[in-house]
Chains A and B, each alone.
Chain A
Amino acid sequence: MGKGKSRIERLLKRRIVILDGATGTELQKRGMPSGVCPELWCLDNNQVIEKINSDYQRAGADVVYSATFGANRIKLGQYGISDVRGTNRELALAARRAVGKQALVAGDMGPTGRFVEPFGDLAFEEAVEIFREQAEGLAEGGVDLFVIETMIDIQEARAALIAVKEVSDTFTMVTMTYENDGRTLNGTDPVTALITLQSLGADAVGCNCSTGPEEMIKLIDDMKPYSTVPLVAKPNAGIPKLVGNETVFTMKPLEFSFFGKEFASKGVNMIGGCCGTAPEHIEKLKEAIANEKPRPPARRSLSAVSSARKTLLFERDKPLLIIGERINPTGKKALQSELLEGKMALLREMAREQEKRGADLLDVNVGVPGIDEKKVMAEAINVLAESTNLPLVIDSAHVETMEGALRLYPGRALLNSISGEKEKIQRLLPLAAKYGAMFILLPLTDRGVPDTAAERADVVREVFEEAQKNGYTKDDFITDGLVMTVSSNPEAPRETLKTVEWCSRRFKCRTVLGLSNVSFGMPERRWLNAAFLAMAAERGLTAAIANPEAEELMNFKYASDVLNGRDKDSSLYLDRFAAFTPGVKKSGDEAATSHADFIFRAVLGGNREGIEPIIGEALKSGESAAKLIDDIMIPAITEVGNLFDRREYFLPQLIASAEAMKRGIACLRPFLKDTKVATKKGLILMATVKGDIHDIGKNIVSLMLSNQGFEVVDLGKDVSAEAIVEAAQNLGPDIVGLSALMTTTMVNMKEIVERVERENLRCKFMVGGAVVSESFANSIGAHYARDGVDAVRVANRLL
């Protein structure tokens, strides 16, 4: 361990460590002009930056940051500077000259300004290389610790942390920047960032910039219960305001320092200031917390995994977790061929569907004979990081695949799996530890799968002993009970259940089962799977690898959570089954007393599924189709229009009613042949004009008009004037309805009106669309319709 590391760790045990305040705003105050490269300006004006550093040290800072926030290859390159290492070295040395041994110097690393894969176009390894170059320069300058700060992309923070750790074992802090909604601009919440970064080896984690102290206290409070490392806060001096011609952070030093005690009570371990803070703020802050005792990290270890945007805790007595098993090509030909072709659509769809059906994590296995597994796994991780927030379980038999995945995965992964086999212990365990992953412990060895629970327990103890040497605790792994098929060994399920019970109640570690193996070769496997899940859940099973799309299984899970006291107040069970609405009735239908009443309510309530059967019943009972339309449905849809006009209905309700009406009319149409009802009010030709592809408004209008008895011929979108004129000649419509959304296409309406008139066709024009106004409509000799309901009114008026 370096001297800096041991020194800061000693300090952290004794008291809350004081960090410096802002550098950027101080530089501007002391003469740095706008638009220059701050690092270059500091090199040219080193007396200024050294004065800032020493002022902070004299104000009481234990740690000062080097002026190297933007000293990476990308940012410096924008100013034509190529000597990245030299710039970092010289600025680190400047900070050292300023504070000597009176304070620690932190090598400061800020964002590159680009997002890192999978969230941006900067390749992950390129990002690591960029930060490695900077870290090497700072190390040459003799920094005591590193700080990676103002990060909004968790993957960029990971890349920087990996780079620093690969350069040196120096103490490293990582601070992220959160928006007012409590997440980074890229969507990461503070607990998720904490879990990802502390497991990856950050020695302290926290937040800086963007908010003032009041807002930042909450972030520290949120993180503290999950922290295994010290927490850092560097708030701005409040929210900036304009005073005269300058942006000013108005929070004065004394006011800023008032928040110190509350930060301390919430468990901050390192505190300083960001934009707008000056040496006076740090001085007052130090005074304010001089007698505050530091609260150590809340725990030694934490059983949790994370994605870029979500955390999942493996807590005792909480609902059984489901690890979605479907992303595995074994026995799935479509997925196999997609993966071999490098396609990811099916994988994305499987992720989406499993998440929707209640999976808590997703197992990802891309092992197909002949595939470049390492490459495809990386692609799968990139795709899944974008398409699901669920944490991933990296599932492979190959160490190289696992390593690539662990490095790239933008969270804390669960590794499936590490067994007692020699290769896994020697090669995979240290890798898992390097990237801070949790792992599934498979209690088998090179000798094979132990038959009994007692033998499996021995292997669990052996692997755990090895894991401890790599810094793991019992919180960091989940033991697989090893499910064997009951059809080949009737004793096997009981041994598995005994293993689960021993782990849960004696050894006190978490457990997982790959459920479906138990029923292999048996008919109606779903019942065996579901029963086995319920039995294992009673013995304390933490998670099951299963198909969340299997409804019986999921229902058993929810039921067993209630019966095992793992679903507080049965709330999850009640939520799940409250959504089950037998039949097709919608609210309000209960009050219907006749077919007519029900049909009226079906249109009014947009009951698209319910209207067809009840119309069938009405016809069977002798009701007239024509009367149902004229006396029931038309008044109902008219009332819907009124409700929409009064804003009591909004667009989805209007359209749902129109769709219910449409389905109802479709059922009745065969019975209308010989009757005269209001179903042929006139013919309307509809089109979205040439060049325009936005046609949803036109589709709504078509739907509304056809429901009101107009015959509608819809020519579609991007329709040329020639095609519209030709259709008008052939069909002889009463009205031509035109829509356009953009100013460039709106002008095509005029041409169509003129051409149709030149052909002496007797029809009227109705126009609408986002940019179309009544005055424009009038100017081209057309009638304006505001929306679908208005279009019905206009058409009725015109005919």
Chain B
Amino acid sequence: MVPVQFFSSINIQIPRKSIFKRLGYRKGVTQIIPDEMRELDESVEYAASLVRLKGAGKRFKVDVEGMSRIHFETGSVFESRDLAKFLSDCGEILLIGATGGSEITKAIQECSESDSMTRSVVLDAVASEMVDASLDWLCNYFNRELTRESKRLSRRRFSAGYGDFSLLDQHSIYDLLELKRIGIDINESAILIPEKSVTAVVRIENSEEE
């Protein structure tokens, strides 16, 4: 079986558009003066310099039983009607996980505690969007391999904590992806640490499916 693939340095362009969107910017409505833009740009660059994107991914054969049970070839079982619906007629999935590292989390906290809330908010948005963009990067990476097998990934992703897919199942995902190896921990509430860490399930589809 192909082992978990780890990516110790994911390189992406700073996703400015989605960062601004996350911060509530609306084109043609929100007004930003040059001084504010300079401050914002500086904070975005600073945040990006602190984000260390790492990722992991692995393909798994799965079997969807009935309306809500998803069996993994490894023996893990998830119970979720929403996830089962997402994976209907799908025999294989890609599990992915990514983190922005602890340096950015520390900087967000420090800014927050030192009366630099504005900077803290921008740093937080940059980290969130960069980690999200790293999941896109992982999907692009695996898609290249899948194309040669006439397969591809679904555009949608599904994460534990959404719908009835219990966040507690993140414990299993954590183990399946060996996320410890890219510096991620998990607490009792199934929250990944560092804070800017995410996982997702993606469908692997035969080309003819969509």
Chain A residues within 8 Å of B, Cβ to Cβ: 24, 28, 34-35, 78, 113-115, 118-121, 152, 177, 179, 181, 183, 185-187, 210, 240, 242, 244-247, 275, 309, 352, 356, 386-387, 579, 581, 586-588, 605-606, 608, 644, 646-653, 655-656, 658-659, 662-663, 690-696, 699-700, 703, 742-745, 771
Contact = CB atoms under 8 A, between A and B. Distances in A.
Given A115-B9, A744-B161, A744-B168, A586 B35 contact: yes
Nearest to B122: A652
Given A179-B140, A352-B49, A691-B188, A699 B35 contact: no
Given A588-B33, A693-B193, A245 B188 contact: no
A655 B121 contact: yes
Contacts of B144: 152, 177, 185, 210
Contacts of B13: 181, 183, 187
B141 A185 contact: yes
Contact of A606 (B36, B49, B161, B189): B36
B42 to A, nearest CB: 9
B11 A187 contact: yes
A664 to B, nearest CB: 13
21 contacts: A113-B145, A185-B140, A210-B144, A242-B207, A242-B208, A245-B207, A247-B150, A356-B45, A387-B49, A606-B36, A647-B26, A648-B29, A648-B31, A651-B121, A653-B30, A653-B36, A690-B189, A691-B188, A696-B112, A699-B112, A743-B166
A744 B191 CA distance: 9
Nearest to B30: A650
Contacts of A696: 108, 112, 120-121, 124
Given A648-B31, A655-B117, A745 B145 contact: no
Contacts of B112: 695-696, 699
B202 to A, nearest CB: 17
Nearest to A704: B117
A268 B24 CA distance: 46
A443 to B, nearest CB: 38
Nearest to B35: A586
How would you classify the secondary structure of chain A's contact residues: helix, strand, loop or mixed? loop
Given A696-B108, A745-B191, A652 B11 contact: no
B190 A744 contact: yes
A152 B10 CA distance: 12
Contacts of B140: 179, 185
Contacts of A695: 112
Contact of B115 (A210, A647, A659, A693): A659
Contacts, number: 158
A152 B144 CA distance: 10
B76 interface: no
Interface string B167-203: 1100000000000000000011111010100000000
Contact of B187 (A386, A581, A588, A691): A691
Interface residues of B, number: 64
A381 to B, nearest CB: 13
Contact of B8 (A24, A120, A649): A120
Nearest to A581: B35
Interface in B127-176: 137, 140-141, 144-145, 147-152, 161, 166-168
A700 B36 contact: no
B52 A659 contact: no
Nearest to B125: A651
B207 A246 contact: yes
B117 A35 contact: no
B40 interface: yes
Interface in B1-47: 2, 5-9, 11-13, 20, 23-26, 29-36, 38-40, 45
Given A655-B121, A696-B112, A119 B11 contact: yes
B117 A114 contact: no
A206 B91 CA distance: 38
Contact of B118 (A28, A655, A745): A655
A608 B111 CA distance: 15
Interface string B84-119: 000000000000000000000000100010011110
Nearest to B112: A699
Contacts of B141: 152, 185
Contacts of B6: 120-121
- Most chain B CB within 10 A, of A586, A588, A743, is at A743
A24 B148 contact: yes
A689 to B, nearest CB: 9
Nearest to A77: B2
Contact of B26 (A242, A650, A662, A700): A650
Contact of B25 (A152, A386, A608, A650): A650
Contacts of A244: 208
A691 B191 contact: yes
A745 B7 contact: no
Nearest to A28: B150
Q: Which 5 A-B pairs have the closest CB atoms?
A: A691-B189, A187-B11, A245-B208, A650-B24, A247-B207
B35 A652 contact: no
Contacts of B168: 744
A693 B188 CA distance: 12
B24 A647 contact: yes
B23 A743 contact: no
Given A652-B23, A652-B121, A659-B117, A647 B33 contact: no
A240 B35 CA distance: 46
A743 B167 contact: yes
A185 B12 CA distance: 8
A652 B40 contact: yes
A703 B23 CA distance: 17
B189 A742 contact: yes
